[in-house]
Amino acid sequence: MGLLQLLKSQFLCHLVICYVFLVSGLIINFLQICTLPLWPINKQLARRINCRLGYSIASQMVALLEWWSGTECTLYTDPESYPLYGKENAIVVLNHNFEIDFLCGWTFCERFGVLGSSKVLAKKELAYVPLIGWMWYFLEIVFCKRKWEEDRRTVAKSLQNLRDYPENYWFLLHCEGTRFTEKKHQISMQVAESKGLPKLKYHLLPRTKGFCITVQNLRGAVTAVYDSTLNFRNNETPTLLGVLNGKKYHADLYVRRIPLDTIPEDEAECAAWLHKLYQEKDQFQEQYFQTGRFPGPIVSQPRRPWALLNWLFWACLLLYPLGVLLVQVISAGSSLTILSTAALCVAASVGVRWMIGQTEIDKGSSYGNKDAPLNNN
């Protein structure tokens, strides 16, 4: 282990990164709240401001992956489609196999300048979580309760609100609904067998309703679907804790641009189209495991400096007053004060480690992890 790698694995470095992220995030959340009076006056301006504020939070996670960890991402795609990326609204269909696949999706957005305006379909509970949840609320993220009868109307309404969005955006969808595990895969394939659908080897059966309602409500506003299939070299299983420790991974991402007007409008036909798409994604993964690469040419899209510059800005802004405070505590404080400060730092670190631990695959969502067969419509 080199000196730099040893430094990246140290508790103090993690504490600094977490401190900058948490405090800057709360400041940005406060600034987002301050935009509330602007919404009824100039909705589009409020949206543009919140895109920039949202970028200032999300890009810190991207900087952690790209600049701290040094993780590389190789893009396989059609050179004719490549010039359109970032210049049109799109629905991005991602596989859900890894702890950091959401972070790779954000990195894909950042490389093409749509990170601040990117959208996802997220659990309703996340809207009440500070930092990411509040950021998403002001970015008009589509929230759902995972109860279809309740979600149908609210999700459709949220999607309709995006039709006049002033920035180009990508709507990121994990159609499998939950992260891949062997247990979930076994149950999902039982559902496939009961429905007479071809079994998948590397994916869960896609849940079609969320995809279909997204296509229906964004048709005319979104021009394409980006079928995106992610894997990592050397059979690595990347973790968010590994990224925080500065471990470098190498991701390969295969992206196909599919014009939205080629997707059937009928819901049943749209669902069948999505099932066929996942059968093709399974074939791409099979090819990757056999050959170590995805089909198609490699297109170079270098990382942009803005995520790093954003983090450096917040670090300079927040670390100086923290340093002054610590010097004052050490020089003038009692032993009890010093010990209390140290205990607070340890507690903050443990809290962040706990949150990171919740992203681990074996601690992921229980959605789709039932012993009884599920309805995967």
Average of pLDDT values for 333-348?
69
User: How far, in Å, CA of 230 to CA of 218, rounded?
Assistant: 25
Determine the Cα angle at 22 with ends 18 and 24, to 5°.
Answer: 115
| Neighbour tally for 167: CB within 10 Å | 16
- Phi, psi (deg, nearest 5) at residue 93: -100, 115
User: How far, in Å, CA of 121 to CA of 174, rounded?
Assistant: 8
Strands (E), 135-249: 142-144, 170-173, 224-232
346 has a pLDDT exceeding 60: yes
371 has a pLDDT exceeding 50: no
Could you tell me if 124 and 145 are in contact, meaning their C-beta atoms sit under 8 angstroms apart? yes
User: How far, in Å, CA of 310 to CA of 159, rounded?
Assistant: 30
> What confidence score (pLDDT) does residue 58 get?
96
With residue 29 as reference, give the H or E element that holds it.
Answer: helix 11-34
pLDDT in tens, 290-325: 999 999 899 988 899 999 999 999 999 999 887 777
pLDDT band with cut points at 50, 70 and 90 for residue 211: very high
Structure-token pair, residue 213: 């309602």
pTM: 0.90
